[in-house]
Amino acid sequence: MSRINTNVSALIAQRSLENSNADLSTRLQRLSTGLKINRGSDNPSGLIVSERLRSEISGVSQAIDNVERASSVISTAEAALQEINAMLVDMKSSVIEAANTEAFSREEILANQLQIDSVVDSITRIANTTSFSGLKLLNGSLDYIHSGVQISQIVDLDLQGVSFGTNDRVDVSVEVLNSAERATVFVSAGGGGILTSSVMFAIGGNVGVEVFEFTSGVANSGVVAAINSRSEATGVSASVGDASGIRLNSVLFGADQFVSVEKLSSENQSFRTVDVPGGIEINRDTGENVLAMVNGNLAVGNGLNISLRTSVLNLKMGLTPGAAQRTGTPYEFTVLGGGTTYQVGPAANIQQQIGFGLPSVAAHTLGGSTTGYLIEMKFGGDAALSGGTYPGENAKRASDILSVAIDQITMLRSRLGAFERNTLQATLRNSQIVLENLASSESVIRGADFAEETAAMTRAQILQQAGTSTLAIANNTAANAISLLR
């Protein structure tokens, strides 16, 4: 049948041609943009997934930049600390040289003092000027701010890392579970507070061993004085116990401290070493570390010092001898702010942020409460080589201060190095791998396959040409009906 009002063949050919044109347009767009999804209608569900992946990729990329910048900050601080460490080591040499008073003149020792004065000033200057992009690193501005710390309880508090999250403060509670103890040995050497016969014995401690010999009739107080005169050589101190005994204690607290007593003569049969007056015989005893809970977490004890490392709180502190005893009453203080927060993950939450504190390393902060501080080594200070009744008299105290200061700088450098290596670098490597996988996943969903799209474009071109020819034929079909009128 031939109808001219409705050309169905032409309509079919036109629809097919439109489809071919639309398909060809889609293929050309994908090839020109390199994307398989250019609008939501291309793949609605794929668009949702790919946009989420793009968001994660952006976050991970920025996290990588953050980690690299944080590593640069740490490297800058560590370089300054390395220079301070070298200065302290040189100072130690000058102090040891000044202690050799018989071989060095007063003028030479005073010259060493001038050098020490200059180094002390230089250390403070480095602490005040070390910066990264205008951010002061070692002057204490990046240290944590705390309140409520009682120096009669807590000394040498070192807040290394605090995570505040959405809080503006962190409360800290320290409860002693087991008391710190010195190593203790009781010596019973006669009656009436004097030695009943001659005796020779050796006392050993963490520092060394010394041999003592006393004749009969020497008072216990004289024995105590002799032992205490060598405490620096043994690490053991003595005190008069009851009327017939002497108490020997390690100078320091802790499980690594010990006191040993060895009797070397057999004349004094009343010479006995016991754990407590009238107790069992022992010749050696060790101390005990303090055991404490910090915010419900068991802290590691070392003598009077405790340390805690959790995701929220990372600290070290020293307790006074009185505070290191179990009383049942916790010591409390508050961290009010300060420190630095490094964003090392793609999301801004507490799990992907790391708190890190950098204390001041100026001369007045280096040293300790028991030894004194580095600033005291400057001319006129209590640890200055030029002080005392003769040059070099303060050399031992100066040496002790330097030993503590060197340990402080070394430990801070080690902490920075561990943070950079085990946290920043590890996070960087992991983020780079995550970025690669996310980019690959996003590419699979959104990226155009050029081989596939090129083949599809060729097909669409062929169909377009065929559709155009077919439409022309269909349009001419109606004209054939005119021949029936002739």
474 φψ region: left (φ > 0), alpha (ψ -120 to 50), beta (else): alpha
Q: Which of 155-159, 167-171, 239-243, 284-288 has the highest mean pLDDT?
A: 284-288
C-alpha torsion angle, residues 29, 33, 37, 39 (rounded to 10):
-70
- Report yes or no: 158 and 356 within 8 Å, Cβ to Cβ: no
Is the model's pLDDT at 414 over the cut of 90? yes
Alpha helices in 137-276, H assignment, sequence order: 220-228, 231-234
Structural contact between residues 223 and 195, judged by C-beta atoms closer than 8 angstroms = yes
Q: What are phi and psi of 51, to 5 degrees?
A: -70, -35
Whether 277 contacts 241, CB under 8 Å: yes
The pLDDT of residue 9: 79
1: pLDDT strictly greater than 60? no
Q: Tokens for 95?
A: 């102090």
- Least Cα distance to 372 among 324, 341, 344, 405 occurs for 405
Q: Extract the tokens encoding 40.
A: 């939501």
pLDDT of residue 241: 73
Where is pLDDT greater, at 326 or 390?
326
Q: How many CA atoms lie within 13 A of 8 on its CB side?
A: 3
Q: What integer pLDDT is reported at residue 481 of this predicted model?
A: 67
Q: Look at residue 368 in the predicted model and tell me its pLDDT.
A: 84
pLDDT band of 4, cuts 50, 70, 90: low
Please give the average per-residue pLDDT across 226-235, as a whole number.
93
Write the secondary structure of 68-99 as one string of H (helix), E (strand) and C (coil).
HHHHHHHHHHHHHHHHHHHHHHHHHHHHHHHH
Q: How confident is the model at residue 435 (pLDDT cuts 50, 70, 90)?
A: very high
Q: What confidence score (pLDDT) does residue 128 get?
A: 95
Whether 484 has a pLDDT exceeding 70, the answer reads no
Long-range residue pairs from 145-151, CB within 8 A, at least 24 positions apart, any chain: 145/335, 145/336, 145/337, 145/338, 146/333, 146/334, 146/335, 146/336, 147/333, 147/334, 147/336, 148/332, 148/333, 148/334, 149/333, 150/331, 150/333
**pLDDT-derived band at 90, boundaries 50, 70, 90:** very high
Nearest CA-CA partner of 206 in 299, 303, 292: 303
Per-chain mean pLDDT for the chain: 87
Six-digit token pair at 451? 């081989």
The candidate with the shortest Cα–Cα distance to 212, out of 275, 271, 252, 280, is 271
Structure-model confidence comparison of residues 290 and 388, the more confident one: 290
Encode pLDDT of 465-483 as tens digits. 888 888 788 777 767 766 7
| pLDDT value at residue 36 | 79
For residue 226, what pLDDT is reported?
Answer: 94
Going from N- to C-terminal start, the domains of the chain cover 87-179+291-392, 184-286
Inform me whether the pLDDT recorded for 454 exceeds 70. yes
pLDDT tier, 2 (very low <50, low <70, confident <90, very high otherwise)? low
CA dist 247 and 251 (Å) reads 12
Closest residue by Cα to residue 175 from 311, 315, 332, 318: 332
* Of the listed ranges 104-108, 234-238, 368-372, the one predicted with least confidence: 104-108
Contact criterion met (CB below 8 Å) for 212 and 201 = yes
- Summarize the confidence of residues 102-110 as an average pLDDT: 74
By percentage, how much of the chain surpasses pLDDT 70? 94
- 8 Å CB contact between 192 and 168: no
For the cut 60, the answer to whether the pLDDT of residue 243 exceeds it is: no
Rounded to an integer, the average pLDDT of 284-290 is 95
299 token code pair: 């802290």
Which residues contact residue 200 at a Cβ distance below 8 angstroms, ignoring those fewer than 6 apart?
A: 211, 212, 213, 214, 263, 264, 265
Q: Which residue has the higher pLDDT, 126 or 352?
A: 126
pLDDT at residue 235 greater than cutoff 90 = yes
| Alpha helix ranges (H) inside 100-141 | 106-129
- Single-letter residue type at 138: L
pLDDT digits (tens, 9 = 90+) for 46-58: 888 888 888 899 9
